[in-house]
Amino acid sequence: MDARLNYFADPTAGKAFKHFMSAGKILKESSLPAATQELVELRVSQINGCAVCIDMHTKEAAAAGESAVRLHLVSAWREATVFTEAERAALELAEEGTRVADAAGGVSDEVWARAAEHYDEGQLTALVVLVAFMNTVNRLNIIAQQPAGDYEVGQFH
């Protein structure tokens, strides 16, 4: 399968992605725990069906020491006992923030309150921006039909 677009060869995309990816780097440097970021990136990508992002974030999380059990259970996090309450709150916020149309109103006050119990304002800000960032990246990849499977750890960092 070949991608419909080569974002790296297009000068307009190249200019836009330079700034866009710098935003991603800023998120990586935030105080939101790295493991939480990878879990959220993976869950948003699973919901959206972005194979290339699922490939990337599964490999990056594993390379950072995330266990295979936790990675396999991200899609069923509600029934899994391997996630902390803070991670569960982040995953719940990520799901409602991704399923905006399905949630009929976005992130509920209850979900927001659970996240606010575990994360300070800076971390909540990073979490919200991360969810929006991943949704954008997923859509760019899905629209262009970027193929998955070839990602190598550190390729885009």
Give the C-alpha separation, 36 to 139, whole Å.
21
Q: Quick count: other Cβ atoms within 10 Å of Cβ 95?
A: 21
DSSP state of 145: T
Q: What's the residue count for the chain?
A: 157
Could you list the beta-strand ranges (E) of 38-146: none
Give the C-alpha separation, 15 to 96, whole Å.
31
77: pLDDT strictly greater than 90: yes
Tell me the residue type at 103.
Answer: A
Q: Could you tell me the pLDDT band of residue 157, with boundaries at 50, 70 and 90?
A: low
- Among 58, 128, 68, which Cα is nearest to 98's? 128
pLDDT single digits (tens) 9-66: 888 988 888 888 888 889 999 999 999 999 999 999 999 999 999 999 999 999 999 9
Identify whether the C-beta of residue 49 lies closer than 8 Å to the C-beta of residue 141. Answer: no
- Among 37, 33, 34, 55, which Cα is nearest to 46's? 55
Q: How far is CA 3 from CA 6, 7, 45, 74, 144, in A?
A: 7, 9, 18, 27, 6
pLDDT at 58: 95
DSSP state of 119: S
pLDDT at 22: 87
pLDDT at 80: 97
User: What's the whole-number mean pLDDT along residues 129-149?
Assistant: 92
pLDDT at 103: 65
DSSP states along 120-148: -HHHHHHHHHHHHHHHHHHHHHHHHT---
pLDDT single digits (tens) 92-135: 999 999 998 886 778 999 999 999 999 999 999 999 999 999 99
pLDDT at 97: 96
Q: Quick count: other Cβ atoms within 10 Å of Cβ 139?
A: 12
